[in-house]
Amino acid sequence: MKPALRLAGALLLSCFGLSAPVFATEYPLPADNSRLIGENTLTTVADDKRPLEYIAARYKTGMLGMLEANPGVDPWLPKAGTQLTVPLQMLLPDAPREGIVVNLAELRLYYYPKGENRVVVYPIGIGQLGAATPNMVTRISQKIPNPTWTPTANIRKRYAKEGITLPGVVPAGPDNPMGQFALRLARGTGQYLIHGTNADFGIGMRVSSGCIRLRPEDIEALFNSVPQGTRVQIINQPIKYAIEPDGKRYIEVHQPLSHTEQDDPQTMSITLSGPLKRFMQSPESDTALIKAAIARRAGMPVLVSSGEPVGDDTVLPAVLQEAQGGQATISQAMGASEQAP
């Protein structure tokens, strides 16, 4: 299976805060009544013929996040000299700030170390179409260094369709797609794990057989930090929103997870909860900007307070035109034939 990733071609909203490069995944935890963390940054593509994944890994973000923020960029060979937005600002998910929280829609894992005033954020890969990672509240039941991999019957069937016969057990080592560390979840028979990878591609994408994967250095850091028994909550929130202590209102919209090959994540509808509708309909919210943000799906917080200046007047009309259904959509297919746990 090769799930397609479709992105809209549109102008960048001018509400993003930009700063000098930041290389950490760790953020100070904001107050309980605040959810905004981090700052976006800009980077310029070097003339080194490296893929977008190299830039994403350097800034410890995911492929989908980079593609959402920079529609039209070539994921395999971005053009030298192109200026890219790196999405390092985000809203914390609407979930308890405890243990591990995974938001599938944004392909990020949030770790809240107990008793510490910080949150550590990691980009992740999740289950592909037909092998989706489910929502759940569970815990870490086992920490496994140097894991072996026992492919399930369904995984073996998928590989067989590609002409690959898997062994009954893949031993630990450099050829093991689970990497060097794994955290088993207590859900079901323990078939879901948070683990590493032996590939240099696929973080921030839907490529796994249902497990959650991290880059090797990230899973090692998480493995060494998180205790067995830690609470794990997996959610699916394509839209996050917040009213900050200073009264400013933000919305962060990601492409929703597709359900079929025919779904276009850039245009498919997103279910709006009751509280979100009230947020949108408030006189303190700019409805046009919210609609534009939902249409754009940039994966970054957008300031949507009513009456708030939004920057360059040449940008806003184009964004508002998107909200009214006038945008031109650019579909960019990215094949991801890899199948792994």
211 has catalytic annotation: yes
CA distance 109 to 246: 27
Question: Amino acid letter at 20?
Answer: A
CA distance 14 to 266: 20
CA distance 9 to 35: 28
Residue-by-residue DSSP string for 263-305: --TTTS-----HHHHHHHHSTTB-HHHHHHHHHH--SSEEE-B
Exposed e or buried b for every residue in 60-73, given b needs 16+ CB within 10 A? bbbbbbbbbbbbeb
Q: Helix or strand or coil: residue 46?
A: coil
Q: How far is CA 98 from CA 95, 172, 190, in A?
A: 8, 31, 21
Q: Helix or strand or coil: residue 157?
A: helix
Q: How far is CA 92 from CA 1, 10, 39, 96, 98, in A?
A: 32, 25, 13, 10, 12
User: Residue 127's beta-bridge partner residues?
Assistant: 208
For residue 290, what are its two tokens? Answer: 């919210």
Instruction: Out of 15, 195, 254, 259, pick the active-site residue.
Output: 195
Question: Amino acid letter at 137?
Answer: V
CA distance 22 to 41: 8
User: Which residues are the active-site residues?
Assistant: 195, 211
